[in-house]
Amino acid sequence: MLFDGKKAIGVEYLRKGKLEQVYARKEVILSAGAVQSPQLLMLSGVGPQEHLTEMGIEVVQHNAHVGQHLQDHLGVDFLYKCKVPTLNDELHSAFGKLWAGLKFIFLRKGPCRLSVNQGGGFVRSSPDKDQPDLQLYFSPVSYTRAPAKTRPLMNPDPFSAFLIGYSNCRVKSEGEIRLASKDPLAAPVIDPKYFSHEDDIKLMLEGSKLMRKLAQTEAFKDIITEEIRPGKEMDSDEALIKDIHSYAWTVFHASCTCRMGPDADQSVVDPRLRVHGLENLRVVDASIMPFMVSGNTNAPTIMIGEKGSDLILEDHR
């Protein structure tokens, strides 16, 4: 972002390796998502003074909350071998994949036109909770996840199996986005600090126990032949917690890193999504959530976009 004092006046960007600038007649709208919106603010001199100075960036506006309060949902899957055919049987072989692709292209039918999660819901981890705090997933498929730092294609297992899983709805841990360097092409540091609040691991443990309870219901019990993951040897709270720590992974719902609030000392943008302390600069994306929504983030982010566009039009009428 380019500033004239405290006023955002345009942006600078690379095109075909050449640095170019474009100037805004009315305002600059930052909409780069919960990882890159705070990164771009910090690179432009808006963020925690100490961190910017350490990175050698001139401070335009100090705000300790830029990049802070990062929240995300975490998911855990339980995989079960079963007696009935699942999508594994249809999709494991190369021919099966080809057939599914052709069926979709020519008939608009088959597994490719379905969501991978074919069932789900929201439940309370215990009756004393006044709101649902776990989101559930069911997929008639199982696959072994790609090892860390590699990205091979996921392949359904060569036997009939399915997965049930959960993610935590009300996250309390907060992480942060920091700059690794003042180079705009360098990735920022994403430090999610998962489970830094002890309530989060307690809730995940309830989720893992619930998966086992579900597997014992009439509907599942008679078709399950084996728990593939985490495995029946993981039968104590301690073992399940260890499994959660090693297996739980992001549901890709990063948010809250430029959070909205009326108080400039507590938030990054005001209720009209304007960056506190600056003129003509708004943030409109998942980063402005004051705290994490309890379910999927895509639709709420679209609503943020819709509301943001109304605010922009109102302010420039």
Ligand X SMILES: Cc1cc2nc3c(=O)[nH]c(=O)nc-3n(C[C@H](O)[C@H](O)[C@H](O)COP(=O)(O)OP(=O)(O)OC[C@H]3O[C@@H](n4cnc5c(N)ncnc54)[C@H](O)[C@@H]3O)c2cc1C
Residue 301 interacts with ligand X (CB under 6 A): yes or no: yes
Active site residue 51: no
Query: 188 is written with which tokens?
Result: 């920022």
Residue 155 interacts with ligand X (CB under 6 A): yes or no: no
CB 116 within 8 A of CB 107: no
- CA of residue 228 relative to chain centroid, distance: 26
Identified binder of ligand X from the candidate list 170, 178, 253, 274, rule CB under 6 A: 253
Tell me the window of 26-34, 84-92, 140-148, 154-162 that interacts with ligand X (CB under 6 A): 26-34
Tell me the window of 29-37, 57-65, 100-108, 233-241 that interacts with ligand X (CB under 6 A): 29-37
Identified binder of ligand X from the candidate list 7, 10, 24, 32, rule CB under 6 A: 32
Q: Which residue's CB is nearer to ligand X, number 230 or number 308? A: 308
Cβ atoms within 10 Å of 180's Cβ, excluding its own: 12
Tell me the window of 62-70, 205-213, 222-230, 295-303 that interacts with ligand X (CB under 6 A): 295-303
**E strand or H helix that includes residue 39:** helix 33-43
Query: 165 is written with which tokens?
Result: 């899983």
Query: 175 is written with which tokens?
Result: 């992480």
Strands 46-47 and 61-62, by their bridges, are parallel
Strands 46-47 and 119-123, by their bridges, are unpaired
Q: Which residue's CB is nearer to ligand X, number 47 or number 230? A: 47
Residue 286 interacts with ligand X (CB under 6 A): yes or no: yes
Q: Of 63, 42, 61, which Cα lies nearest the Cα of 52?
A: 42
Identified binder of ligand X from the candidate list 252, 271, 306, 309, rule CB under 6 A: 252
Q: Which residue's CB is nearer to ligand X, number 15 or number 232? A: 15
Q: How far apart are CA 115 and CA 139, in angstroms?
A: 9
Identified binder of ligand X from the candidate list 10, 33, 110, 290, rule CB under 6 A: 33
| Non-local CB neighbours of 223 within 8 Å, separated by 6+ positions | 82, 83, 84
Residue 297 interacts with ligand X (CB under 6 A): yes or no: yes
Identified binder of ligand X from the candidate list 1, 3, 36, 48, rule CB under 6 A: 36
Q: Which of the following is catalytic: 92, 253, 276, 316?
A: 253
Residue 259 interacts with ligand X (CB under 6 A): yes or no: no
Q: How far apart are CA 308 and CA 65, in angstroms?
A: 21
Active site residues: 253
